[in-house]
Structure 1
Amino acid sequence: MQKVKILFFIYQMGGGGAARTLLNIINNLDRTKFSPTLVTLNFNGSYESELKDDVQFIKLSTTRLSRSIFELSRIIKKEEIDIVFSTIPRVNTIAILATKLANSKAKCVIREADNLGGDWKTNLQLLGFGFAYKFSNQIVSLSEGVKENLVNRYKVKPSDIKVVYNPIDVEIINKRIDQGKMDPHVQDLYNRDEKVIVTAGRLVEQKDQKTLLQAFAKVNEQIKSRLVILGEGPLKEQLTNQASELGIADKVHFIGFQSNPYIYFKHADLFVLSSKHEGFSHVIAEALATGVPVVSTNCKSGPSEVLYNGLYGQLCEVGDADEMAEKMLLILSKPKEEVEEIINKGYERASHFDAKKIVKQYEEVFLQALNS
């Protein structure tokens, strides 16, 4: 049987959820059926070193997405690609154009990863993406909530969308926990007689660490705790100043991007996500897989689906520091036996998103698109 050649196209293999998802799909594809090629713009990404050795990896000569169309199109034609797979609206649009321009047998499968929307300009732009999406061969949404947003804001037909949850590589997560080591300075925080609360994500408005800091200040008044923040971004100085204003500067620790976040999750007492919006929330599923209880905002649309409406973790309203603190205290004050029960339920839920299961669903999508 001739292998199906799949080209994965993304801006860069950086530290975000989209890149992590592509990494998990690429590495877990059935090599007896599929041959993967990864194409990115001319950037260095933190996940590149985690790609399996048999992946053909091509970097374009440009760092500008708008200038990548012709080069990407030439690669699609030259490599005789069967399926082009991309994620994120602007990247998806470029992938569709390049696939059409290649004038080859290639089919285009695109993935939508977030609940986008806002002012009239943003919503008008989404209609433009929706128009472009109609020229793809298949649209994948990573949650039911994102599918609903595609229908309402992009005006895409529900029948053109398939929902496939994000894959998490449980085997790799466990291996990284077993083999990984914390930064010695951070390790010391975990060794003190205080609760450790951890969060991970870009320091940007969407992740709303501002509300988390307010909630943590309330929690720390009742239970002595540390807040460990993984991630980098433009709001670091603003958030650092806010921590000082709240009188918790010595309790909040910004440790930047970590290539192995799982060991920091594993040994924490609680993971908190404070986002204003998500598509799926890959990081919550990964946190459950490490064995840490989760509190998350009930933002559109991923957390309630990952946590199954609160069955596998606590949900609170977006931007509500009081309710967030209440839910955090609820977990942190539970006896050890109840916490163990929460952790075991988290392991059970994480297994539903295991890459081995989810990637099989993606393989079915690719084969169906190929035969459409």
Structure 2
Amino acid sequence: MRILTFLYSFEPGGVERVALRLVRAWRAEGVDAPLFMGRADGAMREEMAADLAYEVPRQPFAIGWIETLWMIATLPRVIVRLRPDALFCAGNSYTIVALAMKLLLGRRCPPILAKISNDLERRDMIPPVRWLYRRWLHLHGAFIDHFIGMEHPMEGEITNAIPAAIGRISIIPDPALDEAQLVRLHHAVGSARNASAGGIRFAAIGRLAPQKNVALMLRAFACGAASLDSLTIYGDGPEHATLSALCRNLGIEDRVELAGHVPDPASRLPDFDVFLLSSDYEGVPAVIVEALAAGLPIIATRCSVSMAALTGHGALAHLIDTGDLQAFSAAIRDAGRLRQDRAASLAQARRFTVERASQAYLACFQAIRRPAPTRQNNFLSSN
């Protein structure tokens, strides 16, 4: 079986990180799993793909600003040449490419398995835009052959948004970690944290983009944190300058570090006391799984239909409504009282390992594959 995964770049993102982890796992299990990249740049390249073979087209100019159109233009030839048994559409932002492949290739397009990686309700949108978005989702049933949800509550969310998906949905907990990383995080916690003196050390991981509503987190920290508390945020993005200015305006620039992108930010979590998430919407946030593996108390918004199930129905996190500054501030103010059941936290995180997910994905690909003629393996990879 040949499974072709296509990604825009190595720019930091949970969707891309998980997809690269799956490709690596499939290859380790002997699956023919070519990887096609629209471009070879991005901060995750050295971390996630230093030894991972992939194909990338020659670029006549910088294509980052038209990466979707570039993928639509270059991917069909790769599909026709490789004749994969299935395409892996790694997240919501790639489904426009999946639609284009069905339209451009017709019967030559292999079955497409798509992971629903983000919230489908999108209550953050203004009504006209949300109406258009819902119509777009409704169309997915016509060109996606099978859907993957990342946690059980997503099945109802998917069928509500895409009625044609009924009977074509599998739930596979998102492989946010591998078993070795999970064990490292679990055992690294304790000594570093117990050595803490002074205030509470808060941490967050995420792209500095509107979806993450980091501004809410900063305002809540300014209102609720004690003078010795600190906050470190790993991640970069278009709002970096705006958020830096907000820190200065709130008078917290000496206690907040916008640390930027770092390799494997989850490995830093054992150095902290409490994990924060302020997103307006998410699918199943991988950073919450990482925080669970590290045994950190968690304060998070109800940014996903899956948040309750992901956090043991509130037993493993303090959940607040999205956008609720007062509740977020109060939770930060009372963070010193938070305690985490490390055994339960580890058991929950273990559901989300690539070792468990890999075989489940392969079973889904086997179920949707079509009989194919014998072909030569003509995948040429380059780094």
> With structure 1 as the length reference, what TM-score do the two structures score?
0.85
2:290 corresponds in structure 1 to 286
Would the aligned equivalents of 1:293 and 1:343 in 2 still touch at CA under 8 Å? no
Given candidates 8, 14, 19, the residue that maps to 2:16 is 19
Would the aligned equivalents of 2:6 and 2:35 in 1 still touch at CA under 8 Å? yes
1:157 corresponds in structure 2 to 165
Worse overlay, 119-128 or 287-296: 119-128
| 1:87 equivalenced with 2:84 (yes/no) | no
Q: CA 1:12 to 1:148, structure 2 compared with 1: closer, same or farther past 3 Å?
A: farther
- Following superposition, the deviation at residue 369 of structure 1 comes to 1.3
Q: For 1:331 and 1:126, how far apart are their aligned partners in 2?
A: 38
Worse overlay, 18-27 or 86-95: 86-95
Q: CA 1:76 to 1:281, structure 2 compared with 1: closer, same or farther past 3 Å?
A: same
Structure 1 segment 116-195 matched on structure 2, within 5 A: 116=120, 117=122, 118=125, 119-173=127-181, 193-195=198-200
Q: For residues 297-342 of structure 1, what are the alpha-carbon distances to aligned partners after superposition, in whole Å with 9 as ceiling and x for unaligned? A: 11222322211221222211112222223333444235xxxx4x52
- Aligned to 1:198, the other structure's residue is in SS state strand
- Aligned to 1:7, the other structure's residue is in SS state strand
Given candidates 71, 76, 80, the residue that maps to 1:73 is 76
- Following superposition, the deviation at residue 147 of structure 1 comes to 3.8
Given candidates 199, 203, 219, the residue that maps to 1:198 is 203
- Following superposition, the deviation at residue 30 of structure 1 comes to 6.0
- Following superposition, the deviation at residue 198 of structure 1 comes to 0.3
**Structure with greater contact order relative to length (CA < 8 Å, sep ≥ 6):** 2
1:349 corresponds in structure 2 to 348
Structure 1 segment 1-372 matched on structure 2, within 5 A: 4-29=1-26, 31-51=28-48, 55-61=52-58, 63=63, 64=66, 65-98=68-101, 101-102=104-105, 103-104=107-108, 106-116=110-120, 117=122, 118=125, 119-173=127-181, 193-221=198-226, 224-334=228-338, 339=339, 341-370=340-369
> With structure 2 as the length reference, what TM-score do the two structures score?
0.82
> Where does structure 2 lack aligned partners over 5 or more consecutive residues?
372-383
Would the aligned equivalents of 2:224 and 2:332 in 1 still touch at CA under 8 Å? yes
| Equivalent position amino acid for 1:369 in 2 | I
Q: For residues 11-43 of structure 1, what are the alpha-carbon distances to aligned partners after superposition, in whole Å with 9 as ceiling and x for unaligned? A: 223211101110221122264451111112124
Would the aligned equivalents of 2:140 and 2:162 in 1 still touch at CA under 8 Å? no
Q: For residues 265-292 of structure 1, what are the alpha-carbon distances to aligned partners after superposition, in whole Å with 9 as ceiling and x for unaligned? A: 1110000101111111111001211232
Aligned residues: 355
Q: For 2:84 and 2:336, how far apart are their aligned partners in 1?
A: 51
Q: For 2:134 and 2:104, how far apart are their aligned partners in 1?
A: 22
Question: Which structure features the higher share of strand residues?
Answer: 1
| Equivalent position amino acid for 1:367 in 2 | Q
Q: CA 1:45 to 1:305, structure 2 compared with 1: closer, same or farther past 3 Å?
A: farther
| Equivalent position amino acid for 2:14 in 1 | G
Q: CA 1:50 to 1:363, structure 2 compared with 1: closer, same or farther past 3 Å?
A: farther
Q: For 1:331 and 1:191, how far apart are their aligned partners in 2?
A: 15
Q: CA 1:128 to 1:317, structure 2 compared with 1: closer, same or farther past 3 Å?
A: closer
> Where does structure 1 lack aligned partners over 5 or more consecutive residues?
181-186
Q: CA 1:242 to 1:50, structure 2 compared with 1: closer, same or farther past 3 Å?
A: closer
| Equivalent position amino acid for 1:354 in 2 | T
| Equivalent position amino acid for 1:23 in 2 | L
- Following superposition, the deviation at residue 248 of structure 1 comes to 1.7
- Following superposition, the deviation at residue 45 of structure 1 comes to 2.7
Would the aligned equivalents of 1:60 and 1:72 in 2 still touch at CA under 8 Å? no
